[in-house]
Chains A and B, each alone.
Chain A
Amino acid sequence: LAKTTQPISMDSYEGQEVNITCSHNNIATNDYITWYQQFPSQGPRFIIQGYKTKVTNEVASLFIPADRKSSTLSLPRVSLSDTAVYYCLVESSNTGKLIFGQGTTLQVKP
């Protein structure tokens, strides 16, 4: 299972765009990249999932370069309520196994 590496923490201000990059150098052909968000004392919540190029939904965008060894979660115009831990995961389409790493704690300031 591919290991992921992402920054431990990031700070931002309200209204800014936030980009969190995750590296997954040994990602396999059948693996997908998934991001979750977790608020304190709650379970993680699915944000977005992709395989290659760009995926966009109402919450975020996910950019995946051609070599797929990294991915970037982009949150447009963050607000205070976006303060949370963001997890990057690599999920095998063969096993469906999901392993969570340390995540990135995003602190949005006024």
Chain B
Amino acid sequence: ETGVTQTPRHLVMGMTNKKSLKCEQHLGHNAMYWYKQSAKKPLELMFVYNFKEQTENNSVPSRFSPECPNSSHLFLHLHTLQPEDSALYLCASSQDHGEGPGELFFGEGSRLTVL
């Protein structure tokens, strides 16, 4: 138990569906992250939020839309995805971002399959 909870753990969706991934952290952290991990590839940083503000978007396609209503919750809204978007989506949090080296706390991930 890392203090970061992701739901759902598994999701299967068609290319025309709209779904959302949810992440919640109970650690009192101020920064939250979305990473994507495809098979046989390293983790790719997608988005960074610090104090609810998006501070990084690593050229992620607009079919992925993040939302951070408060420092404890992070969503990833999915629409019109492609089969190559199938991957493990990992949420992480840290005390803050850009204030020195720190520790990332990851959730267990949401395994997404796009048909």
Contacts and interface: CB of A to CB of B under 8 A. Distances in A.
Classify chain B: how many residues form its interface, as a range. Answer: 20 to 34
Contact of B97 (A32, A49, A96): A96
Interface of B: 2, 4, 31, 35, 42-43, 45, 56, 88, 90-92, 94, 96-109, 111
Contacts, number: 60
B109 A44 contact: no
Interface stretch (A18-26, A55-63, A65-73, A97-105): A97-105
Contacts of A95: 98
A93 interface: yes
Interface residues of A, number: 24
Interface in A54-92: 87, 91-92
Interface string A21-64: 00000000000101010000111111001000000000000000
Contacts of A91: 101-102
